[in-house]
Structure 1
């Protein structure tokens, strides 16, 4: 069946093109496997809650915007009853019944791993689509400060505000037993003559029930939802998401202004819901371990959970994450998305903020995404196994890539990473191949937290391990330093062994059992990398290119197209690297597993950033057509 929804429809109608429904939820209540819901142009202020599940990849329920028509689903309502209080400050008084059982102006940013929150709430105010900042008190509302710089809490550096003028637009709310009063400073605008909206609903497209499988959502704009903080130990609702199910396709959408997370492919509440913050009796780490076992009891497996596709979306202006997920993200593919302006308002801060933030990203493939102007580009935390990060473009992020407390095997290949702080490597068992890395890497062991690893290509738990550091592979990468940066390159691994045989021999010269493994550095496999402008190499790397050469790297935006400008030395084209594959990348030690494709087949890293096939020997770095001298190449659009 094909159902139609239009702004001139009625929920008492038949749902045909000639007699459409008025709301998407009406169509969602009756559509079954194999049906398509076509939504026509207009604004739909509703939280779409799919009721029924598709049955397979071939018998989906599809929600799509009508071709060539702009369809917007909003978690906000328009408010036109503003009263002027003083000067440019206005207020509106709304009965609490207006919000039902979820009042975003009463609900605070709350949960595990929140570090900084000076009383911020889930509400927001928008003037012609522009998000305001929440003031801490009424006095700040009358005297708003224009901020040109803010503190990035993780890197502890001062970073510029993208739009300082926006920071003077502020709101504040008071909630009593009967009413919610929202104050806002609109400056020269009259809020009753402009489009002024406030967050009302928790989500735009998110089922209330779990197990709503095989849904496709395509072609919508979705925005302005009062989504809560989504750590890995909590229920993880996003502006849109599958809510612990299998086989969703989220494609060709524009997703923005989620208070916390845009797309969620994460866990649900029964496996833990902020118990560290609520109960205070155990560390969040312990509750996160428990959530993994609770998930197994709840059916966490490839047969029931994950395998989602997130592609061709534009995701921006979200307070916490563009894409978030713990456990529910397994076996998914995230590609061709444009993700930017994530976590940069810095109204609140916690250890769960990134353009893409995934825990337990088993066999997840993240490729061909453009990620920029984020607090952190991509953060893979716990159980990064079978994961591949390939051919992504990162720029103007405070940090580009973070892999934490994982034992691999995972692959990072053919990416362009350009942040001053390019990589956080607090993991082991990674293969970094043919990347351009301009910026520092921070390499750390994590000996106080053992995290799970799995039977390859499965959610079955095979064991636990701390992060010893090492067991990493670096081949055919191009490192570019800067006179202001330290720790650029592979110099962090000085003192590490270079083969499993050497490592085993050194361990068995020690006394004891597990203590001996703590005392010897794991093997690393590092060869055939280039180091420019002060980047430093691993002391035992045999074949390498080192030069004080200035590559003059620049990322240049021209409309929706992005170009890479890069200079390379005269002898660059003589330094050729070999194709890396399952057969050349040593197995990871702890997991005792090979680098493979998700289906268990051999992985061959012979496709460059631009999608071109590499010859058996070709120049190093992400693009096979790089040459000596000046390069100017389109890398997006």
Structure 2
């Protein structure tokens, strides 16, 4: 929180006590939890499925259609079993459980991914100008919450983050960047802007050449995804869901309801929730909140006089474990008054990744008053914001333990603010963070941690009037956090130094070792993290374990640390006779290697795969290398491609306007966009250039009006080398970039497929395309200019259908073999759109093969799955079960062979039954006419009955050929 709130605690304490006095302690104690009001009944299992109906009974044979319908019905002891599919709704439990034996459990049924979104699909975008499209919606369409009319609070005094609201725009699951003016959107790819009038809301978005009506375009509309309207529900379990697109607001200084914490998943003042095994992505601000929402409600939630933060039997004690949380604008997990909660084994990455919210509450994990709590085994990576920490304990947080975590690439790796302690920070791995910081804090014990390549260690401030508590309670008193005392035991430190004692700041330092680690190397992705280093352990001896008795009693708190440090990062016992510095008891002299993630014995959800063909950040490839015309000291070019938003490259400060930085991607790629994250020294004028040989450069983008901050620019070229060529610096300090991200796909990213050449005889620019539809914008994005194809190589089994005009119109040509010179066939430099289908009858694709094509239903935006059961559109990610070969039987007809079992898809029973992959050969029932629709989608017409294949009931039921015409349910995206 903000650094100038020196008297905040006493003001809040007085207000909370006054609020409690209004209703009386006796009244508080006499009011039962809402969770206790329901009558006990035999436990039931309530089913929810995409083929259900909310008028049904909720049985497996007669399921509900919406999760929220079941949430209104569920009683203590019940389980809500949600079957695979996409649900667009907010789930608002009407009641909670009564005790551990009578929880209400919401869980994935285990038959596929359950996705609950706060967004709605928009397929009525209208071309505005250039690459910009717009949609206008009546304000009434949004109901009671219009995100585009909601500012983002900043500063605690009614201020907002200028230019930002609670809305968001997504294309194919990628969130775009909001801009403060329409002119910014017109000039910048992957951005959006909105205006709210008296009657309508209009949103403009720059889709960088894509047609959003032919892709998955969405806007967020719901503030929260799983959150009660009833305050203080207890004993609820939320297990195994994918939660996306919450339109929530920033909770800056959460001391009043208008700035309350409102996560995509929210306990809303509840008691003993378990939130586990979920995927939470793209919350506008907070992913999961586990507290009393704000300070005011901690004294008394209006209308529900039962919450007194002193009475810890009625709130908190939550468990948040084994979740994957990514791309949340403020926090992955936040909680104000989150008493006795446990945050365990979560992977949290890319917090505030668009660098929009550098407020006083930005952190992957941010907790207030989580007294007696535990933060253990989490993997926290990549957060942005000048005022942000990987783990932030702010106010209260007495007797908290922070152990066995990995924190990487944050402005502050760990931050303790306005606390008296004790807080035990032990056995953690901190890598590549700018600072380890405390402010107006005392009583922090750092034991057996590894600090690797971090910046400074700061113990800032002097005193603040902050809470301390009677041990084991929330009964508070306030006092200045001065004088300050910190404890540093048995830490390994490389790349920084521990602070020395100063006036009113005592630094107890015993058994710490610096400069004994060399050659540190690590691999860090969102599924695994490994670390190796060379250790000179010759001088590490005679260390003593860190125990409660050794630390002693922390003043005012009148208690010692939460536990003795008897185990290491992995849970292995510490040998008291041979204690090793750092978090690894088994570290030894010489080379050490450790696999740190995933944690042994824990199952963390696998992060969702991006949709097929989604460009990735090529700058992070292992073989990518960065060089520059000049690099200022330690501010090297490599810093711009290390994935760490806290490190940067800087040019010379001598006003070399022509300074540059370039990236060798290692191979030739099809490049779509570049994202430049500027430090204050940004370029007013610059070019993005592309080359195949690092000698001959082609301009892909040029501007004289650079704005700094984070800029996304369109590239749409193929190449191996990409350069930012400076032209005009905006300041006297040259150019400086935190990150230089290049997004694209391999020129042959889809594997085998036809290759298209810019010159005859297979010369010039070469681009390989997998199965799919490529209108002109998609061809240009792949690096193929309009009317530029002069020769084609077509592998056996593939078919290229080319069109003279965009939109799959005009003269049509079909290629099933190589053609070295299109001049001889009359179609040289004449192709503006094309369709690639294939796999071929001679292919060997089968189970487990990652090639082929996929069909994504326009009915529900899910991929079609094959196997022993009928085909159904129920998958949000691609595996072998969602891949098919399109085998061309003649010019217009295909058979569809499933990779799941190598069987052909049949319109069973002459089309009267659902489609199923169960035929070893293709006959009449297995023949389909492939129709290309004007919007780029395809439809399948069964030859056996002339009917179109439909994703029945909006995709909730298996595919069947029974429609006479083509509508949204009969349209599919054919993807690689």
Aligned to 1:403: 416
Match for 1:492 among 479, 485, 500?
Answer: 500
Q: Where does structure 2 lack aligned partners over 5 or more consecutive residues?
A: 1-43, 599-976
- Asked whether the equivalents of residues 435 and 478 of structure 1 are also in contact (C-alpha less than 8 Å), the reply is yes
Q: How does 1:75-224 map to 2 (within 5 A)?
A: 75-113=118-156, 117-144=161-188, 168-224=189-245
Tell me the secondary structure at the aligned position of residue 102 of structure 2: coil
CA distance in 2: counterparts of 1:119 and 1:445, whole angstroms: 32
Tell me the secondary structure at the aligned position of residue 412 of structure 2: coil
1:527-551, Cα deviation, whole Å (9 max, x unpaired)? 111122xxxxxxxxxxxxxxxx552
Cα offset, 1:576, TM superposition? 4.2
Aligned to 1:156: none
Q: How does 1:446-457 map to 2 (within 5 A)?
A: 446-447=462-463, 449-457=464-472
Cα offset, 1:184, TM superposition? 0.6
Q: 1:570 to 1:390 in 2, by over 3 A?
A: closer
Aligned to 1:624: 585
1:613 aligns with 2:573: yes
- Asked whether the equivalents of residues 116 and 348 of structure 1 are also in contact (C-alpha less than 8 Å), the reply is no
Q: 1:557 to 1:595 in 2, by over 3 A?
A: closer
1:251 aligns with 2:276: yes
CA distance in 2: counterparts of 1:295 and 1:354, whole angstroms: 30
Q: 1:592 to 1:270 in 2, by over 3 A?
A: closer
1:442 aligns with 2:458: yes
Q: 1:571 to 1:235 in 2, by over 3 A?
A: same
CA distance in 2: counterparts of 1:559 and 1:185, whole angstroms: 29
Aligned to 1:282: none
Tell me the secondary structure at the aligned position of residue 314 of structure 2: coil
- Asked whether the equivalents of residues 369 and 395 of structure 2 are also in contact (C-alpha less than 8 Å), the reply is yes
TM-score normalised to the size of structure 2? 0.54
TM-score normalised to the size of structure 1? 0.82
CA distance in 2: counterparts of 1:269 and 1:530, whole angstroms: 42
- Asked whether the equivalents of residues 116 and 350 of structure 1 are also in contact (C-alpha less than 8 Å), the reply is no
Cα offset, 1:297, TM superposition? 8.1
Q: 1:296 to 1:209 in 2, by over 3 A?
A: closer
Aligned to 1:316: 326
Aligned to 2:909: none
- Asked whether the equivalents of residues 154 and 160 of structure 2 are also in contact (C-alpha less than 8 Å), the reply is no
CA distance in 2: counterparts of 1:550 and 1:218, whole angstroms: 41
Aligned to 1:485: none
Cα offset, 1:523, TM superposition? 4.5
CA distance in 1: counterparts of 2:407 and 2:61, whole angstroms: 47
- Asked whether the equivalents of residues 223 and 247 of structure 2 are also in contact (C-alpha less than 8 Å), the reply is yes
Match for 2:350 among 341, 344, 353?
Answer: 341
CA distance in 1: counterparts of 2:482 and 2:460, whole angstroms: 9
CA distance in 2: counterparts of 1:29 and 1:308, whole angstroms: 22
CA distance in 1: counterparts of 2:160 and 2:433, whole angstroms: 24
CA distance in 2: counterparts of 1:72 and 1:442, whole angstroms: 42
CA distance in 2: counterparts of 1:475 and 1:622, whole angstroms: 11
Aligned to 2:721: none
Cα offset, 1:116, TM superposition? 7.2
CA distance in 1: counterparts of 2:411 and 2:518, whole angstroms: 21
Match for 1:38 among 58, 69, 81?
Answer: 81
Tell me the secondary structure at the aligned position of residue 27 of structure 1: helix
Instruction: Indicate the RMSD between aligned Cα atoms, in angstroms.
Output: 2.1
Q: How does 1:368-407 map to 2 (within 5 A)?
A: 368-375=377-384, 376-407=389-420
Cα offset, 1:188, TM superposition? 1.6
Q: Paired residues, what number?
A: 540
Tell me the secondary structure at the aligned position of residue 361 of structure 1: coil
- Asked whether the equivalents of residues 109 and 120 of structure 1 are also in contact (C-alpha less than 8 Å), the reply is yes
- Asked whether the equivalents of residues 471 and 589 of structure 1 are also in contact (C-alpha less than 8 Å), the reply is no
Tell me the secondary structure at the aligned position of residue 153 of structure 2: coil
1:430-486, Cα deviation, whole Å (9 max, x unpaired)? 111100112221111243x3011111111111x2122225322111111112xxxxx
- Asked whether the equivalents of residues 231 and 304 of structure 2 are also in contact (C-alpha less than 8 Å), the reply is no
1:357 aligns with 2:366: yes
Of the structure 1 ranges 318-327 and 603-612, higher mean CA displacement relative to structure 2 is found in 603-612
CA distance in 1: counterparts of 2:420 and 2:304, whole angstroms: 20
- Asked whether the equivalents of residues 565 and 632 of structure 1 are also in contact (C-alpha less than 8 Å), the reply is yes
CA distance in 1: counterparts of 2:216 and 2:542, whole angstroms: 58
1:302 aligns with 2:312: yes
Cα offset, 1:489, TM superposition? 2.8
User: Between Structure 1 and Structure 2, whose CA radius of gyration is higher?
Assistant: 2
